[in-house]
Structure 1
Amino acid sequence: MPDQPFSRGNINAISYLSYYFVGALVSTLGIVLGPLCAAFQKDPSFIGQVFTLMNIGMFIPIMLGGILMRRWGLQKPLVAAAALIVLISLLLFFTPTLTMFSLAVAGIGACGGIFMAIGSYLVVRINPDEKRRSASLIFTDFFFSLAGATLSLLLAWLFKLGASWIAMYGIMGTLGALMLAMTLRCRFPSTESPASASQNVLAAVEPWGCSVYLICFALFAFLLAEPIFTMWTPGYLQYRFAMTPEAAALYTSVYWVAKAIGLFLNQFTVRWMKLRTFLLICTLTGLAAIAIIANSANTTLILVACAVFGFFNSGMFSGLMSYGSLQVSRSSPTLISALLTCGTVGTLLFASVSSMVNSHFGQHGALNASTVAYSVLLGALIIAVFFSRAERLHQPTPATV
């Protein structure tokens, strides 16, 4: 129906940039770590703790995203966050102290959380069709990995030329300025669906159902498992197989390349395959792959498993987000915020949980914590599929595209 005073192309571009920004923020931490340690004469564990402020900053607006969008809409929080990123980046250039850096990463993390919450909701809001929504979310997530691939190379090249760590936040400021320009000239949809008043009242009181909570838990398990894998795999391979750091890094590089390829291709896969089937196949294959990585004695098989894990792991986050949003007849900002919040809790806890396991069971046990988390993910997903209402609520209709 014609309640479309917004440009689908511009909205999609803002969603892509939101994910690219958060991907740039998260996936380049390992590259910036060395220059930061050198600049502030601190060890990596100290700087790693400072980056915890970024995770906390990101978590808060994701948790409160539903309230944020309902009270101030979609454009105002994006404009405010983008402007704040530009301001913080400028302040870092003039005051590059450890205190300012700590405040900056917390502030930029909070702005990234706003981008993530609103970017995800925008994709859901403008794609009511199940297959288009799933494909759009997966393609949007592709930009998260794209940021890691492109900016990792760019920063490595800049640091090799002798650039300061501030170069990273100069890039973040540039992305913030681009987001500011795009959001100021874009017309956004409202947070309300183009439905009648009675439909809106019914939607407001519509129960989520147990599948939503199970999928929230599955997102938590997924975002607990993946960073445990990326954090502990290189060290485990060096310890067990006496690999050099460069050789061990190849295994996680293969994972990220395979994941980027999967994110690009799986946007087409979900257009002809049922989303629940796609998620179950990816989870089963991913569980088998991570079990091989953590327990096989064959390094060639582990390398192949890393590629398989990356490819089949690629659509899980977006697929779970889409499946969770389809459990109700009309997704709300609160529901999207809840799904993101539960996932983000996994990201917040992975370091402390896996470190505790490492202290008791060593690096092999720490890596297998990822296998356990993936097993929990599979169990939660199977039960969620059993109780799912998505297939009944979103029957494919020839009239709507």
Structure 2
Amino acid sequence: MTQQPFSRGNLNAISYLSYYFVGALVSTLGIVLWPLCQAFNKDPSFIGQVFTLMNLGMFVPIMLGGLLMKKWGLKMPLVIAAAATVVISAVLFITPTLTMFSIAVAGIGACGGVFMTLGSYLVVRINPDEKRRSASLIFTDFFFSLAGATLSFLLAWLFKLGATWMAMYGIMGALGALMLALSLRCRFPTTEDESAPSTPQATADEGWGAAVYLLCFALFAFLLAEPIFTMWTPGYLQSRFTLPAEEAALFTTVYWVTKAIGLFVNQFTVKWMQLRTFLLICTVAGLLAIAIIANSTNTTLILIACGVFGFFNSGLFSGLMSYGSLQISQSSPTLLSALLTCGTVGTLVFASVSSLVNQQFGIQAAVNTSTVAYGVLLITLIAAVLCSRAERLHRNGAMDI
């Protein structure tokens, strides 16, 4: 066996930090929303629309991820994105205007899209075994939730001490500097898998099947529902139950903590439970929990439901990605890019859709948009399971599918 021409430990660290960065960017929107409204004297719907620029910036490199990797390799896009994050954060501190903020969130969003695309591909690239890949994807996603759990608590504490919204983007700059240091010292693999030279052609000739497209739409519904919940729930709790900002932030902190716990546990769960069963159980439990969060009048019950929602919501993104990759005999970067791109459309439009609903029907309706999206996710997932080819294609690993 030849020695691997790349730094597996450093590549894992880059994948973890990539997901932590994107988690930090997305999971804290609800917490920084109100300080931004106060700083710029704008209503939440307006700031929610500004965040669409961040999502648009994130979407473009994810959509073009395959082209970026083919043309520039893996190292250069990471180095450029990390350096750009540091520069953008520094400029935002110097000129903290609404115009500069709008430009900055679009730029940092684009950097996050580069990190997410390359971080996901690295997990697939260095883990050819299907079982190990599924577990690794779930563990990498753990860092997305870890960002929500740690930064929700940290930002709530900093805001209580009198910090402004710029504290968040100071943190993003520091994460960018860490990514830059890791990327510069790391040895990266090529984008071609030398151990399977015929795989790209074989994969290109193999049809994806209906289940892949359904799972693409399921990822869209999931990535529409979750950020709507994290963005609007703190404000909803403040307006409906007159909770102080730091107490409302506790509810989303509980969500991210239990999601992080769930991700840590579920990397082992998927090794003995059928993946389709795991996905269906988590989706049903998540739908019930988000319905309670958006409609219950009992804050204690809502707090418990946030914990339940976090735990059962934890493995869905990585689980759907894994189940999609199993629908063809040889998973490819093209398929991974398609799943990520379709899912990211949900992240792209969630702020606009939920802000419009909030403007027309109120903040509770905005939160309930997440409930509706979860219902669509469940229906789509059931349809995907019914026409899945994974069980036939990977008969030897049926226990894991």
Counterpart residue number, 2:144? 144
TM-aligned CA deviation for residue 249 of structure 1 = 4.7
Percent identity over the alignment? 78
SS in 2 for 1:188: coil
Q: Does structure 2 retain, via aligned residues, the 8 Å contact 1:18–1:116? A: yes
1:213-266 deviations in Å (ceiling 9; x for gaps): 1100001111122233334445555666x4534565544333222212112211
TM-score by length of 2: 0.88
Counterpart residue number, 1:126? 126
**2 CA distance for matches of 1:80 and 1:319?**
30
Q: Does structure 1 retain, via aligned residues, the 8 Å contact 2:286–2:308? A: yes
Counterpart residue number, 1:214? 214
Higher deviation after alignment, 345-354 or 130-139 = 345-354
Counterpart residue number, 2:321? 321
- The letter for the 2-side match of 1:304 is I
Q: How does 1:2-401 map to 2 (within 5 A)?
A: 2=2, 4-37=4-37, 39-234=39-234, 242-245=241-244, 248-296=248-296, 299-358=299-358, 362-396=362-396
Q: Does structure 1 retain, via aligned residues, the 8 Å contact 2:30–2:234? A: no
Change (3 A) 1:41 1:338: same
TM-aligned CA deviation for residue 16 of structure 1 = 0.3
TM-aligned CA deviation for residue 289 of structure 1 = 2.4
Q: Does structure 2 retain, via aligned residues, the 8 Å contact 1:65–1:333? A: no
Q: Does structure 1 retain, via aligned residues, the 8 Å contact 2:30–2:235? A: no
Q: Does structure 2 retain, via aligned residues, the 8 Å contact 1:216–1:343? A: yes
SS in 2 for 1:101: helix
- The letter for the 1-side match of 2:75 is Q
**2 CA distance for matches of 1:237 and 1:145?**
21
- The letter for the 2-side match of 1:375 is G
Q: Does structure 2 retain, via aligned residues, the 8 Å contact 1:212–1:324? A: yes
**2 CA distance for matches of 1:153 and 1:221?**
27
TM-aligned CA deviation for residue 300 of structure 1 = 4.2
Change (3 A) 1:298 1:38: closer
**2 CA distance for matches of 1:174 and 1:251?**
26
Higher deviation after alignment, 180-189 or 115-124 = 180-189
- The letter for the 1-side match of 2:288 is A
TM-aligned CA deviation for residue 284 of structure 1 = 1.8
Q: Does structure 2 retain, via aligned residues, the 8 Å contact 1:65–1:334? A: no
Change (3 A) 1:188 1:331: farther
- The letter for the 2-side match of 1:64 is L
1:130-187 deviations in Å (ceiling 9; x for gaps): 3222221111111112112223333344444554544433322221121112112212
**2 CA distance for matches of 1:17 and 1:75?**
15
SS in 2 for 1:26: helix
SS in 2 for 1:272: coil
Q: Does structure 2 retain, via aligned residues, the 8 Å contact 1:134–1:319? A: yes
**2 CA distance for matches of 1:232 and 1:165?**
17
**1 CA distance for matches of 2:298 and 2:95?**
50
TM-score by length of 1: 0.88
Structure 1: gaps spanning 5 or more residues = none
1:289-331 deviations in Å (ceiling 9; x for gaps): 2333344555544433332221101111111111112222333
Structure 2: gaps spanning 5 or more residues = none
| RMSD (CA atoms) | 2.7
> How many residue pairs were aligned?
396
